[in-house]
Amino acid sequence: MTTLFVIIGYLCLLLALGLFSNRLFRGTSKDYFVASHSIGPFLLLMSVFGTTMTAFALVGSTGKSFERGIGTYGLMASISGLVHAAIFFLIGIRLWAFGKKHGFITQIQFFRARFESDSIGYLLFPILVLLVIPYLLIGIIGAGKTIEPVTAGAFPALFTNPTAPQWLGGVPPWLTGLVVSLVVLSYVFMGGSRGAAFANTFQTIVFMIMGLVAFTFIINALGGINNAGNVPARINEKGLIVQDYRFDKKEGILKENSPPKPIGRVVESESSNLTNKQPHFWREPVVAEFKKKNPKTDELVPFERELGIPFITFVTYLFIPLSVGMFPHLFQHWLTARSAKSFRLTVIAHPLCIMIVWVPCVLVGAWASGVLPPGIPPPAVLSAMLNLLVGDPILIGLLTAGVLAAIMSSLDSQFLCLGTIFTNDIVIHRSGPNKYSDKQIIFIARSFIVVIVGLTYGLAMLAKDANVFDLAIWCFSGFSALFPVIFAALYWKRTTKEGAIASIIAALVTWLYYFHKSGYGGEYMVGPGIVPAAICFAVSAIILVLVSLVTKPPSKETLNKFFPNKSEL
């Protein structure tokens, strides 16, 4: 119950911050959508970083590391440090300059002007909404999965139908999702992008600090930093996967299992020497068989899991972080910058912030393989580790608030961006810029945000068992497939509207094909382990080049507008 009070206290603090940012709101639509281009370097870094790190970063990375080991960091975090920073430098600053000069508020406005095409906006709008919605679902599902285990036992008479029997009385995912949606809605509704920037900064600081605090407490519980390295599951001389330790919750200490407890066995591996290896500490693929309890029959059911990461998967995963170049919510954050110089801190510090958040999470996920049952759902690993190893309810409350902070600092920007693109690219674009007053424009945006929040909440309840990491990867893959369009629009004069439209359609068709093949959101690899995003990207890029070369180039006027004769541009 104490844990729950701490979480409620955090949410109230966030609402108070929303009220404060509302007092700074200047009442104009430009302030509501892009904070009147007034955000400085630190707020820009925190809001961009907070937006890119969602449930995926804390809950997803820990769960994926529990499944596949430390390769998760190279797979997603270190390559993101390189690719994200390059995109902020090569694309973010340039789009900010065009946005500020020509008054663009959304990506679609930029594309319509660059490609002299009205229809490209109507094609892109549903695609962007289609891809942002799964991203929103990740946040709401992740929040529900985080809160239920840590509040288990709080209301045993009230919440009698838990997701897992041991979580009886925990706050159910439907209620967590509802509260989180309403809290985010309240401060986005009131303060717009300025409110989101303030809330993001506060929440990013909270989740970075809380992540490090959780890491410190987990290390102590595992017997100190030097012993933590011995904890992950190990392969013995018979090819069995064993846990050498268990955590005695009553005594609050780590105890050695004598003999080690077998939890699975190696089924397949190309490596000849596996004895005493800890498969979560390397990246060589090892197929293992574990057992998990069927919640309905209590029977132990075997299941296979590939530990480690195939090399071809590791290489092709680099296409996933290209998605930030096409995130509409990130585009909106870029446009809030006061000047191009505001980007400097983000370019340098973003890879470091990723490291500060991801390294502890990946280590905790690998360590969890030695003390948690292998059948635990990956998204529940972080909260299960906190529950097992950190006994203090106040601390668990603070750490859970940190996870919620990471989730909500992404939800706010995504809700706001959908309201922004609907208002600007559909309503105002159809009616003309002078039909609605500034107040009416803000009202339309707020109304659409309310509708999107309601729709997202409903969908999250239907998809509540989705794997947060895999769903995120599908969302990122779609945006990555659209990356050639934004890159070519900025750097290749010969790109035509026909080329861009053909590329968008090719990206969509390829993405839908693989999404269908995956069973609508599961983990899916092509051939020897190629990530579908790589193929979607390649198809989109090839189509863009071929169609552009055989169609009429853009007008001179457009080229002069977007490729002015300046030495640096």
Partner 1 sequence: MKRKFIWILFLLLFLLHQDFWENADLILGFMPVGLAYHAAFSIACACLGGLAIKYAWPNDLEEFAEEER
Residues in contact with partner 1 by CB under 8 A are 70-71, 73-74, 77-79, 81-82, 85-86, 89, 93-94, 96-98, 100-103, 225-226, 228-229, 271, 277-279, 281-284, 311, 314-315, 318, 339-341, 344, 347-352, 354-355, 359, 362-363, 366, 564, 566-569
For residue 46, the minimal CB distance to partner 1 (Å) is 16
Question: With the C-alpha atoms ordered 65, 67, 70, 73, is the resulting torsion angle positive or negative?
Answer: negative
Q: Which has the closest alpha carbon to 364: 82, 163, 73, 142?
A: 73
Cis ω for the linkage preceding 134 (within 30 of 0)? no
Best CA proximity match to 306, nearest among 261, 363, 267: 267
How near is the Cβ of 349 to partner 1 at its closest, in Å? 7
Q: Which is nearer to partner 1, 156 or 528 (CB)?
A: 528
If the CB atoms of residues 75 and 428 are measured against partner 1, the closer one turns out to be 75
* Residue whose CB is less far from partner 1, 90 or 450: 90
List phi, psi (to 5°) of 151: -110, 10
Between 70 and 185, whose beta carbon lies closer to partner 1? 70
The residue (of 74 and 262) whose beta carbon lies closer to partner 1 is 74
Q: Which is nearer to partner 1, 24 or 340 (CB)?
A: 340
* CB of residue 485 to partner 1, shortest distance in Å: 21
Interacting residues of 179 by C-beta distance below 8 A, sequence separation 6+: 11
Q: Please identify, using beta-carbon distances, which residue of 74 and 375 lies nearer to partner 1.
A: 74
Instruction: Name the token pair of 70.
Output: 């430390």
Q: How far is the CB of 305 from partner 1 (least distance, A)?
A: 18
Give least dist CB 1 to partner 1, A: 35
DSSP per residue, 415-439? HHHHHHHIIIIIIHHHH-TTSS-HH
Q: How far is the CB of 428 from partner 1 (least distance, A)?
A: 18
**Least separation in angstroms between CB 358 and partner 1:** 8
The kind and range of the H/E element at 262 are strand 253-269
In this structure, what token pair is assigned to residue 294? Answer: 């069927």
For residue 474, the one-letter residue type is: W
CB of 344 to partner 1, least distance (A): 5
Q: Do 37 and 100 touch, CB atoms closer than 8 A?
A: yes
Instruction: Compare residues 40 and 81 and give the one whose CB is closer to partner 1.
Output: 81
How many angstroms separate the first and last alpha carbons of the chain? Answer: 58
The DSSP string of 78-118 is IHHHHHHHHHIIIIIHHHHHHHHHHT--SHHHHHHHHTT-S
- What span, in angstroms and rounded, lies between the C-alpha atoms of 495 and 487? 10
When the beta carbons of 341 and 516 are compared against partner 1, the nearer one is 341
Task: Please provide residue 355's backbone torsions phi and psi, each rounded to the nearest 5 degrees.
Answer: -60, -45
Q: How far is the CB of 279 from partner 1 (least distance, A)?
A: 8
d(CA 459, CA 252): 40
- Residues 526/514, Cβ–Cβ less than 8 Å: yes
Contacts of 355 (CB under 8 A, 6+ apart): 77, 78, 81
Q: Residues for the chain: how many in total?
A: 569
27 vs 564, beta carbon nearer partner 1 = 564
* Shortest distance in whole angstroms from residue 101 CB to partner 1: 5
